[in-house]
């Protein structure tokens, strides 16, 4: 049982937070304002097993922090969470830097030699950023067994080996199969997982089914 902060009250935060509570963790959901409606609804659903607060409250509470905010707002949300509440901790970054300002499909704010994962790591050098779970629909993040017997791949990257091991442990508890958790290397490898999003969107657009993932075969 670990104290975990979930930053973000959208469907990703709710899904991750609910799963972590089911697994027996103590979860505090953080949002911009302490009286966020979605956070209140989450609290009512998980009475006695969760708490809510500002991004800073949640970050201070958590031993591990899940960034479930939308990618366009992640850096600001983490600044509000405050470096002093994040330093030394594992930050699991699930976000994609999608820019919807020019309509659909979204563009990526960082590409090629940069990524949101790296931007976060640079902005918070004493935080152990681990990028993962950003390559699929949130329902599958916490329930990979929903499709193909759970036999498909998830990626992990980050600069801190021990932090990645901790996050792999969480992924195993979510139902991911060890051999399918592929460590891509340092945080620069976030580029590839984020730049995969346009293909994800194209596949989704073609198949009309978001409950899919990729399995590496060789």
User: What is the maximum span of the chain, computed from C-alpha positions, in angstroms?
Assistant: 50
Q: Is 183 in the site for a second copy (CB under 8 A)?
A: yes
In the bound state with a second copy, the residue whose beta carbon lies nearer, of 41 and 211, is 211
Among 90, 86, 104, residue whose Cα is nearest residue 132? 90
For the CB of residue 20, give the shortest distance to a second copy in the complex, in Å: 25
Q: Is 202 in the site for a second copy (CB under 8 A)?
A: yes
Residue with tokens 């949130």: 138
Residues 61-100 contacting a second copy, CB under 8 A: none
Q: Is 101 in the site for a second copy (CB under 8 A)?
A: no
Q: Is 139 in the site for a second copy (CB under 8 A)?
A: no
The residue from 152, 162, 170, 178 that contacts a second copy (CB under 8 A) is 152
Q: Which run of H or of E encompasses 4? A: strand 3-7
For the CB of residue 167, give the shortest distance to a second copy in the complex, in Å: 16
Q: Is 138 in the site for a second copy (CB under 8 A)?
A: no
Count interface residues toward a second copy (CB under 8 A).
41
How many other C-beta atoms can be found within 10 angstroms of the C-beta atom of residue 193?
21
Q: How many CA atoms lie within 13 A of 132 on its CB side?
A: 37
In the bound state with a second copy, the residue whose beta carbon lies nearer, of 11 and 211, is 211
The sign of the CA dihedral 127, 131, 137, 142 is negative
Query: Residue 168 to residues 14, 157, 208: CA-CA distances in angstroms?
Result: 20, 10, 30
Q: Which residues bind a second copy (CB under 8 A)?
A: 102, 107-108, 111-113, 147-148, 151-152, 155, 157, 182-185, 189, 191-193, 195-203, 205-207, 209, 211-218
């Amino acid at each position: 049982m670990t104290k975990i902060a979930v930053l973000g009250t959208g469907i990703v935060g709710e899904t991750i937070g609910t799963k972590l509570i089911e697994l027996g963790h103590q979860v505090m959901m953080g949002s911009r304002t302490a009286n966020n409606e979605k956070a209140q609804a989450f609290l009512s659903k998980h009475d006695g097993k969760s708490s809510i607060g500002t991004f800073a409250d949640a970050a201070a509470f958590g031993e591990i922090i899940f960034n479930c905010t939308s990618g366009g707002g992640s850096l600001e949300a983490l600044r509000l969470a405050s470096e002093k509440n994040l330093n030394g901790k594992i930050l699991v970054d699930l976000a994609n830097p999608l820019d919807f300002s020019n309509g659909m499909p979204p563009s990526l704010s960082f590409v090629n030699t940069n990524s949101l994962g790296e931007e976060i790591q640079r902005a918070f050098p004493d935080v152990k950023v681990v990028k993962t779970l950003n390559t699929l629909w949130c329902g599958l993040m916490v329930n990979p067994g929903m499709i193909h017997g759970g036999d498909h791949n998830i990626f992990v990257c980050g600069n801190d080996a021990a932090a990645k091991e901790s996050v792999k442990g969480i992924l195993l508890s979510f139902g991911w199969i060890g051999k399918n958790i592929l460590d891509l290397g340092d945080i620069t490898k976030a580029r590839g997982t984020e730049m995969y999003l346009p293909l994800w969107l194209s596949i989704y657009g073609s198949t009309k089914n978001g409950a899919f993932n990729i399995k590496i075969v060789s």
